[in-house]
């Protein structure tokens, strides 16, 4: 099998590998060649020998007739906050330069059991928060790929790898997916274990996935999910099977809600026009709803919990290494230190009310439609990885959120559309998303 | 749905539960009624409230439209050497009376993720070794159910539950399966994690499964398997999917080996006649092979490793509680203490050679046919749970081994037939077993 192997989807690649028409070695070599000298600065750690050795082992296993997995021989990138024993994990901070974890994260075990090749570690903003990496957007090198999962999103968009793992506490999966023109997914809180991943906010941290097709996104998500008592948020119940969702037909056409939130004023005109066009194309399936009282103030509540917990978890090491903390992060930490326990407890109370609101909401609607970001990717010169404002509510409430690369902005750069689902209904959300993609194609 | 719900296979039950024709609550209640006052003494711990609460939760999850698992709402029994936080784990020894583990075993997490109901804990011989429980064989209360997984095998045979987990270090799954007339499986070493399970021999301990159909056996086995670095024997590769094996057609008719081992002399006449009839019915598919040099002495080597490691792992607690050690176990421990490090190292060397022999063997043959046990279940009055002699070699070499309830002895009691496969070819072994069952039905 020849040609542009780096362009294969994970689903295609694994099919060819199991058929014997493609080796993992050839696929991984093609991806390494594609990466070349990594002009977009997506990778924090990449050792071709380690990647190739895994590929060769997966080929040996297949040839021996032993068991193969759903990602057999497919390269996957990991955000550099995910602990790996066999590669350094530096968390995007000089504080952790050269850090070698003693154990792999739970998701690394799940990937190995699925036969995946751990390709390398991708760049993360400093401690998965505000200070950017030097990663550039593969569509325009003057633009940001978004953050905090900057390298993961850029590597998938640049066809370095078909799949990558990221994380989201505010908007760190959905926003870079939007800016890089790929699919991104943040599952329901507790579906994917966070054991062995940098903790920045116990209440808000989620792992998430990137891919160039909806099917690939589901394939990776299903592999990563597991019940793991090592993560207090992990639940002792079956995981939704998102791949089944992709392949399912909705029993009736879905009902989608669109909230007229005040934050829509933050949208760039092209993004606003784009989302309006999507709503129009979907016709009566989308219902425009006034803002419910329960939604007021949630953006602020998210920020309070995020900054308060970030300081709780990390201030000891930050204070000891203040010279290694970026000027971008310092004021955030200083703000977090001033949040009182009472303010934090109030915020947790509002969070609980909001979760109850959404539990009821999703008995009536299949999904909420929302922008993924305020518009096209921001200029790197702005110093920002973009505004995560449209991601804060699903992150706060642990709702599954999916970004689909449906729109193109005025300068030709990608803009994502977000679908948000009910807790533990990740499969239903993928079903709705697949339906929506087909409906929009039919309408076009 | 009414009728004898306790007779349903797990595969049937989960199908009905997912269809909404059966509730887990009704199924678990029917099983609890079947158990009644447990006349066969299969259960070490059974709390109907704990079982029913899990069943009700699984029903709630299904009704809410949330994700369901492959064992959704199906009750599973656990041998009482598997740690559970929510039920005591006493290991069949007064030394551990009332013991409450702080964490669940890895397989408990896997069962919860699959939606299973943990029904209770089944009786194990003392420390999963030689001293019997008071469990009786469901087919004849004067007979032993075999050991060490006595309660697990008896509970499945008596239709208390469709599925149970056992363990095998010598012959503790295959032999009780044979005596109780059900299916039993010991997978390749490293497929199922032993984290949180009593360690009696790090080199030889395996977890295994019991069911009343081959398909059910595969269903449970696939749920239990996982890569878990918490068990040093666990391997970082995909698991064989035994359920796919059950449903697969062999590409050509399998080649099965039968070794003319000297231990065949230990067979009762009815068991010898039975196995000969099976070989005859399979005709040219079975090749009778002379004993290879590599097989000589393996029974003894297994015993050396088992007794040496048992003492290494447990002698500290045994010596401190010698008054609580049974008169059956004491001489075994005393024998183990006398095995020298050199004898043990020699035994490990022979084990490695035998594994290499089998690796080559299974490039030529699909399976080895063997008796599961020496004959019908022994009388309880004999004081023994039976001779595990036909199970020692697969336990030593970590080979997958399956017992099929194919024969009936001269007093009408069950006798199993064993099939042994190549390492990590558990799926191929199930494929061969399913083929063999069909071939024998056709020949009958």
- C-alpha distance from B187 to closest chain A C-alpha (Å): 13
Order of strands, edge to edge, in the sheet holding A43-45?
A: A43-45, A117-122, A75-79, A163-168, A206-211, A183-186, A401-408, A414-420, A367-371, A256-259, A286-289
B69 touches chain A (CB under 8 A): yes
Selecting from B109, B113, B229 the residue whose C-beta is nearest the C-beta of A238 gives: B113
- C-alpha distance from A114 to closest chain B C-alpha (Å): 5
| Inter-chain CB proximity B66 and A424 less than 8 Å | yes
Cβ pair A239, A341 in contact under 8 A: no
| Chain A hits for B240, Cβ within 8 Å | 66-67
| Chain B hits for A227, Cβ within 8 Å | 109-110, 112-113
Catalytic residue among A24, A144, A152, A172: A172
Q: Is 80 exceeded by the pLDDT of residue B109?
A: yes
Q: What is the pLDDT of residue B116?
A: 98
To test the contact with chain A by mutation, choose from B65, B67, B191, B399 the residue with the greatest count of A C-beta atoms within 10 A, namely B67
Question: Does the predicted TM-score (pTM) go above 0.95?
Answer: yes
Average pLDDT (B332-360) is 97
| Inter-chain CB proximity A241 and B67 less than 8 Å | yes
Average pLDDT (B254-262) is 96
A307 touches chain B (CB under 8 A): no
In this structure, the number of other CB atoms found within 10 A of the CB of residue B201 comes to: 23
**Element (DSSP H or E) covering residue B408:** strand B401-408
Q: Kindly list the structural domains of chain A, giving each domain's residue range(s) and its CATH number in brackets, ordered by start.
A: 1-444 (3.90.1300.10)
Q: Is 90 exceeded by the pLDDT of residue B444?
A: no
- C-alpha distance from B424 to closest chain A C-alpha (Å): 6
Three-state DSSP class for residue A246: helix
> Which chain B residue's Cα is nearest to A106?
B228
| Inter-chain CB proximity A115 and B237 less than 8 Å | yes
Give the residue, B424 or B444, on which the prediction is more confident.
Answer: B424
Selecting from A69, A104, A229 the residue whose C-beta is nearest the C-beta of B238 gives: A69
- C-alpha distance from A139 to closest chain B C-alpha (Å): 36
Cβ pair B8, B27 in contact under 8 A: yes
Q: What is the pLDDT of residue B303?
A: 97
- C-alpha distance from A319 to closest chain B C-alpha (Å): 34
- C-alpha distance from B428 to closest chain A C-alpha (Å): 9
| Inter-chain CB proximity B65 and A425 less than 8 Å | yes
To test the contact with chain A by mutation, choose from B237, B252, B363 the residue with the greatest count of A C-beta atoms within 10 A, namely B237
Round the average pLDDT of chain B to a whole number and report it: 97
B113 touches chain A (CB under 8 A): yes
B61 touches chain A (CB under 8 A): yes
Report how many Cβ contacts below 8 Å link chain A to chain B.
78
Average pLDDT (B123-151) is 97
Each residue's pLDDT tens digit, B427-440: 999 999 999 999 99
The tokens describing A140, both together, are: 């325009």
Average pLDDT (B233-256) is 97
Cβ pair B94, B69 in contact under 8 A: no
Selecting from B69, B226, B238 the residue whose C-beta is nearest the C-beta of A238 gives: B69
Order of strands, edge to edge, in the sheet holding B117-122?
A: B43-45, B117-122, B75-79, B163-168, B206-211, B183-186, B401-408, B414-420, B367-371, B256-259, B286-289
| Inter-chain CB proximity B425 and A228 less than 8 Å | no
Q: What is the pLDDT of residue A387?
A: 96
Q: Does A150 participate in catalysis according to the annotation?
A: no
B7 touches chain A (CB under 8 A): no
Nearest to A292 by CA among A356, A373, A374, A366: A356
> Which chain A residue's Cα is nearest to B108?
A236
| Chain A hits for B191, Cβ within 8 Å | none
Q: What is the pLDDT of residue A296?
A: 80
| Chain B hits for A72, Cβ within 8 Å | 238
| Inter-chain CB proximity B109 and A229 less than 8 Å | yes
The tokens describing B219, both together, are: 């269903």
Q: What is the pLDDT of residue B397?
A: 98
Q: Is 90 exceeded by the pLDDT of residue B418?
A: yes
| Inter-chain CB proximity A227 and B425 less than 8 Å | no
A50 touches chain B (CB under 8 A): no
Rounded distance, CA B217 to CA B225, Å?
Answer: 13
CA triplet B262, B365, B285: central angle to 5 degrees?
Answer: 85
Q: What is the pLDDT of residue A286?
A: 98
Selecting from B109, B239, B425 the residue whose C-beta is nearest the C-beta of A113 gives: B239
- Token look-up 């739970």 returns A106
Residue numbers of B annotated as active site: 79, 148, 172
| Inter-chain CB proximity A237 and B112 less than 8 Å | yes
Beta bridge partners of A287: A257
**What ipTM is given for this predicted complex?**
0.95
| Chain A hits for B425, Cβ within 8 Å | 65-66
Write the DSSP symbol of residue A339. Answer: -
**Element (DSSP H or E) covering residue A122:** strand A117-122
Selecting from B109, B229, B241 the residue whose C-beta is nearest the C-beta of A103 gives: B229
In this structure, the number of other CB atoms found within 10 A of the CB of residue B337 comes to: 14
A62 touches chain B (CB under 8 A): no
Give Cα B29 distance to the centre of its chain.
25
**Residue B293 pLDDT level (bands cut at 50, 70, 90):** confident
Q: What is the pLDDT of residue A292?
A: 81
Q: Are strands A163-168 and A206-211 parallel, antiparallel or unpaired?
A: antiparallel
Residues in chain A, pLDDT under 50: none
B229 touches chain A (CB under 8 A): yes
Cβ pair B201, B344 in contact under 8 A: no
Selecting from B67, B109, B241 the residue whose C-beta is nearest the C-beta of A67 gives: B241
């Amino acid at each position: 099998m020849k040609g542009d192997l780096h362009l294969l989807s994970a689903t295609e690649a694994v099919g060819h590998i199991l058929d014997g028409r493609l080796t993992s070695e050839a696929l991984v070599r093609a991806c390494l060649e594609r990466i070349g000298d990594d002009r977009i600065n997506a990778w924090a750690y990449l050792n071709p020998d380690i990647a190739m050795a895994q590929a060769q082992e997966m080929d040996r296993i297949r040839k021996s007739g032993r068991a193969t997995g759903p990602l057999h021989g497919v390269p996957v990138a990991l955000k550099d906050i995910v602990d790996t024993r066999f590669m350094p994990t530096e968390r995007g901070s000089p504080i952790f330069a050269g850090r070698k974890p003693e154990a792999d994260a739970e998701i690394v075990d799940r990937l190995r059991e699925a036969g995946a090749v751990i390709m390398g570690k991708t760049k993360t903003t400093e401690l998965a928060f505000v200070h950017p990496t030097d990663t550039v957007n593969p569509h325009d090198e003057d633009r940001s790929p978004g953050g905090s999962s900057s390298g993961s999103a850029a590597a998938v968009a640049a066809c370095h790898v078909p799949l990558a793992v990221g994380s989201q506490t505010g908007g760190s999966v959905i926003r870079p997916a939007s800016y890089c023109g790929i699919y991104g997914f943040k599952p329901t809180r507790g579906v994917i274990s966070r054991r062995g991943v940098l903790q920045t906010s116990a209440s808000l941290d989620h792992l998430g996935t990137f891919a160039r097709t909806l099917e690939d996104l589901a394939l990776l998500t299903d592999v990563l999910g597991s019940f793991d008592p090592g993560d207090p948020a992990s639940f002792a119940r079956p995981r939704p099977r998102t791949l089944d969702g992709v392949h399912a037909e909705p029993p009736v056409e879905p009902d989608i809600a669109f909230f007229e939130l005040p934050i829509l004023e933050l949208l760039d005109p092209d993004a606003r026009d784009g989302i309006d066009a999507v709503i129009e194309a979907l016709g009566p399936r989308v219902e425009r709803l006034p803002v419910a009282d329960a939604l007021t103030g949630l953006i602020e509540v998210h920020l309070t919990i995020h900054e308060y917990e970030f300081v709780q978890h990390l201030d000891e090491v930050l204070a000891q290494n203040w010279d290694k903390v970026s000027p971008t992060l310092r004021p955030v930490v200083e703000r977090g230190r001033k949040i009182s326990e009472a303010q934090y407890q109030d915020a947790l109370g509002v969070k609980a009310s909001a979760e109850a609101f959404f539990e009821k909401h999703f008995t009536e609607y299949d999904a909420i439609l929302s922008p993924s970001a305020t518009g096209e990717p921001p200029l790197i010169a702005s110093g920002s990885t973009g505004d995560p404002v449209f991601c804060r509510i699903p992150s706060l409430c642990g709702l599954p959120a999916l970004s689909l690369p449906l729109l193109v902005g005025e300068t030709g750069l990608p803009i994502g559309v977000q679908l948000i689902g009910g807790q533990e209904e990740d499969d239903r959300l993928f079903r709705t998303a697949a339906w929506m993609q087909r409906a929009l194609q039919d309408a076009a």
